[in-house]
Amino acid sequence: MTVVFFALDLSLELGVAGGLPYIAVVLLGLWSRQRNYLLAASLTGSVLTILGFFLSPAGGEVWKVLLNRSLALLAIWVTAILCFFYKRKEEALWKSQRELESLLDEKNLALKATSEKLIRNISEHRLTEENLHESEMHIHSILDNTVDAIISIDEKGIVKSFNIAAEKIFDYSSSEVIGQNISMLMPTPDRDEHDQYIQNYISTGEAKIIGIGREVAGLSKDGNLISLELAISPIVLGEERRFIGIMRDITERKIAEHNLNNSRQEFRDLYHRLQTVREDERTRIAREIHDELGQMLTAIKIDLWWLKKKLPKDQGVLSDKVLSMSKFLDSTIEDVKRISSGLRPGVLDLLGLDEAIKWQAEEFQNRTGIRCNLNVNLKGIELEPNCSTTFFRIFQEALTNVARYADASEVDINLIRDNGNLTLAVKDNGIGITENQISNSKSLGLIGIRERVNLFNGKVIIQGSQGKGTSLSISIPLEICGEK
């Protein structure tokens, strides 16, 4: 278009203002999307207007021609400037419109998201209500089918829930209990103290049974006592505090435990009686062997010596036979003494427990070659015979175990008073007993030791370390042992 206008300008006389058509080219910039179009169109029109001054055919006066061309240039740039400001204002308006549209789009998106969230919340709320109802039904089903009684109460002790297991245990229906104070299910004095206990817990936080399982007594509808295992936990529902109690009827178990304890006590009484009878019988047999058989053997020995003296000197064979019989009789008398002492050492009855321990340790050392280190101090202590016998028999059993199993070369023996107890400690340097051997039900010797000590409410400690030996310690209160 500028080329056409420039060709037209060259065909006209110089006096004609050929620069004015370029204004139309500048005005086209209003519809152009290129920002630099106005500047390019203005510069092009100005350059062509000036070239037209030099190249157009001559005509008119010079000052008029210059004025005409100058006005044309001014018109071009005024138009360009006006178009520029209009274009700028239009772009600003268009930008504002775009920002407004963008803002509206964002608001619409936010509104849409809010609407969708609201719809989703409404749906979730409906689902939550349905799930809540379903959960409540599920929880009620669990509570009604559990084997444990589950009862909930509020801060005033009023029963809020009472499941089927609780109905079976207490023989009340839920309608009879819900709304009533939980103390109706308690015997005295628990019934009188319960409400005060709850208030004390709420005000101070001090708990006696909350969070701690324990055994309690309940009261059934017909007034019978029920042994219960109870666990209580506090919960908060909104602004309301409740207490959930889970109970299990252990009445039959308590009866079984009572019967078992009675059986154990009867067994221990029987064991004690058997031990007493056994010791009495051993004492009687030992005495009879020592007195009766010993006297008879001594009389036979005296007769043999009398017979030996009466034999003629030429009866050397008979004399030797009598001498051989005398030696055999001496050996038999020693065996009788040993058997009698094994059944019931006379030193225990005559000189007491400390001398009996020393005698037994010496016999053990001579028989086995295992050295015994003794520390026995019972000065001023006089023991009841059964207690002395218990310590002695346990000591014998301990030495027997050392000889059989320990493979030891040395045994430390201590029999002393210790904090109101009489304590016997036997420790060897052998291979050491294992935990399995200590707890083995076939270790009858250890079981016998425990039962003997239990008769006097004493304590037994057995420990072993591999390669470092075994230690046995028993303690019996002196007041039970009959100290005088």
CATH number at residue 242: 3.30.450.20
Q: Which DSSP helix (H) or strand (E) runs through 154?
A: strand 149-154
Q: Is residue 133 part of a domain?
A: no
Instruction: Note whether 357 and 453 are same-domain residues.
Output: yes
Listed residues 208, 228, 249: the one ending a domain: 249
pLDDT along the chain (484 residues), means of 10: 58 55 64 64 67 60 65 69 71 73 70 64 53 56 71 85 86 90 85 73 67 80 87 75 83 83 71 64 64 72 77 77 80 72 68 86 91 87 82 88 90 89 92 87 81 86 90 89 62
Residue type at 182 in one-letter notation: I
C-beta of residue 472 within 8 angstroms of C-beta of residue 432: no
Q: Are residues 454 and 372 in the same domain?
A: yes
Pairing of strands 410-418, 371-376: parallel
Residue ranges making up the domain that contains 285: 254-344
Helix (H) or strand (E) run with residue 88 in it: helix 62-145
Same domain, residue pair 104 and 33: yes
Residue 6's CB is within 10 A of a number of other CB atoms, namely 22
DSSP 402-451: IIIII--SEEEEEEEEETTEEEEEEEE-SS---HHHHH-TT-HHHHHHHH
126 within some domain: no
Q: Examine residue 88 and state whether it is found in any structural domain, yes or no.
A: yes
Q: Give the chain's domain count.
A: 4
Element spanning 235, H or E: strand 225-237
Q: Are residues 364 and 340 in the same domain?
A: no
Alpha-carbon span 45 to 38, nearest angstrom: 10
Task: Give the SS3 label for residue 172.
Answer: coil
Beta strand 410-418 pairing with 214-219 = unpaired
State the pLDDT at residue 371.
93
444 and 355 fall within a common domain: yes
Q: 231, 249, 267: which is the final residue of a domain?
A: 249
459 in a structural domain: yes
Whole-model pTM: value is 0.47
Beta bridge partners of 470: 464
Last residue of one domain, picked from the residues 249, 267, 287: 249
Give a yes or no: residue 74 inside a domain: yes
How confident is the model at residue 426, as a pLDDT? 94
Instruction: For residue 421, give Cα distances in angstroms to 328, 357, 476.
Output: 47, 18, 5
Looking at residue 67, its pLDDT comes to: 67
CA distance 21 to 41: 12
How much is the pLDDT for 253? 83
- pLDDT score at 431: 92
- Give the residue among 200, 206, 172, 175 at the shortest CA–CA distance from 186: 172
- Considering the domain architecture, whether residues 260 and 216 belong to the same structural domain is answered as no
* Residue 425 domain-assigned (yes or no): yes
What is the number of other CB atoms lying within 10 angstroms of the CB of residue 301? 16
429 phi, psi to nearest 5 deg: -110, 35
Does some domain include residue 435?
A: yes
Q: How many CB atoms lie within 10 A of CB 358?
A: 17
123 found inside a domain: no
